[in-house]
Amino acid sequence: MNIRSFLIISCLFFLSWCTTKPFDVEQNVIDGTGRFLHDVIVVAHVGAPYEATYNSLAWFALAKKYWADAVEFDVSLTKDNQTIVMHGPSMEMNSTCQHPMKNVADYTLAEIKEDCKLNNGEPIRSLEEMLSEIKGRFAYYFIEMKVYDEHKISLQADDIAAVIKKLWLGVKAIVTSYDHDALAKIVEQWIMWWRDTYTLSEFYHVDSFAYPYFLVDFRELQKEPVLIDRLRGKFVAYTASDVKQFKQIYDMGVRIIMTDDIKNTMHYVLSGDTY
């Protein structure tokens, strides 16, 4: 194959990739064989929070045990520009450290490894370590990029994108953030992205935004139900606290739903029964 033919084929492939929706619930829905609800993707918000420590491998293991389709978790940047699985900014929320008043950004990764553990005794893992552990367990991984230093956004986005590419997670890893600048940097890296927002006005201008997919509090969608019909498949609604709330969001027409009650929700999705 000569260079000209190679370039033409490469361009055609690139254009076909760009014109394909990066995430569409109708095309990417989980295999619904044997499920009571076959047209919904259920995302375990922070895993199984009622039963395990946030951001721990144990919490991912429970999400898998209960047949979650996807998981959502938070990442923050260390002093030496390493991405760790931690909400932040404080290390107090979910860990035990010798110096508990420090924030994530005050530690290097090595110092965190030496000084801190999660509340359940597990080590605090880098994004690469965690994704390497749980790769292949879920259909999708929603990575919430927490920005605490606007001067390091590019470094943070670069590190997250590098990990996703290294592990060949492709369309399975979806980066979310409230920060427009952070998402702009993710877009530059050709990584999948969703806009996390509380602002309903953004939905009326969805076609003019670089990110046509949104994570949104379901209570905001209740205020403007017409948006669900207009933008079907573009929402991840969060966060159902129980099966009753999950049903309420599903009945609104949303088909990608986050829940804190992954055990009971997936029991309902799989069987149609409630405990």
Q: In the predicted model, what is the mean pLDDT of residues 229-240?
A: 82
Computed from CA positions of residues 234, 171, 55, 124, in that sequence, does the dihedral angle turn out positive or negative?
Answer: negative
Q: What is the CATH number of the domain that holds 193?
A: 3.20.20.190
Domain contains 15: no
Tell me the C-alpha distance between 206 and 214, whole Å: 9
pLDDT greater than 90 at residue 43 = yes
Beta-carbon contacts of residue 251 (< 8 Å; ≥ 6 apart): none
More reliable by pLDDT, 214 or 135: 135
Quote the DSSP letter at residue 39: S
H/E stretch holding 176 reads strand 173-177
Taking only the tens place, the pLDDT of each residue in 62-93 is 999 999 999 999 999 999 999 999 998 988 77
Least confident interval from 31-35, 51-55, 57-61, 217-221: 31-35
Domain contains 6: no
How many domains in the chain? 1
Domain contains 11: no
Domain contains 99: yes
Give the model's confidence band at 58: pLDDT under 50 very low, under 70 low, under 90 confident, else very high. very high
Domain contains 7: no
Tell me the C-alpha distance between 208 and 32, whole Å: 34
Domain contains 3: no
**pLDDT for position 206:** 57
Domain contains 12: no
Taking only the tens place, the pLDDT of each residue in 157-174 is 999 999 999 999 988 999
Q: Is 85 helix (H, G, I), strand (E, B) or coil?
A: coil
Taking only the tens place, the pLDDT of each residue in 249-262 is 999 999 999 999 99
Domain contains 267: yes
Domain residues for the domain of 52 are: 23-271
CB 158 within 8 A of CB 165: no
Q: Give me the chain's average pLDDT, please.
A: 82
pLDDT greater than 70 at residue 51 = yes
Q: Whole-prediction pTM value?
A: 0.85
**pLDDT for position 86:** 92
Percent helix, strand and coil across the chain, each to the nearest 5: 40, 20, 40
- Determine the straight-line distance between the first and last CA of the chain, rounded to whole angstroms: 61
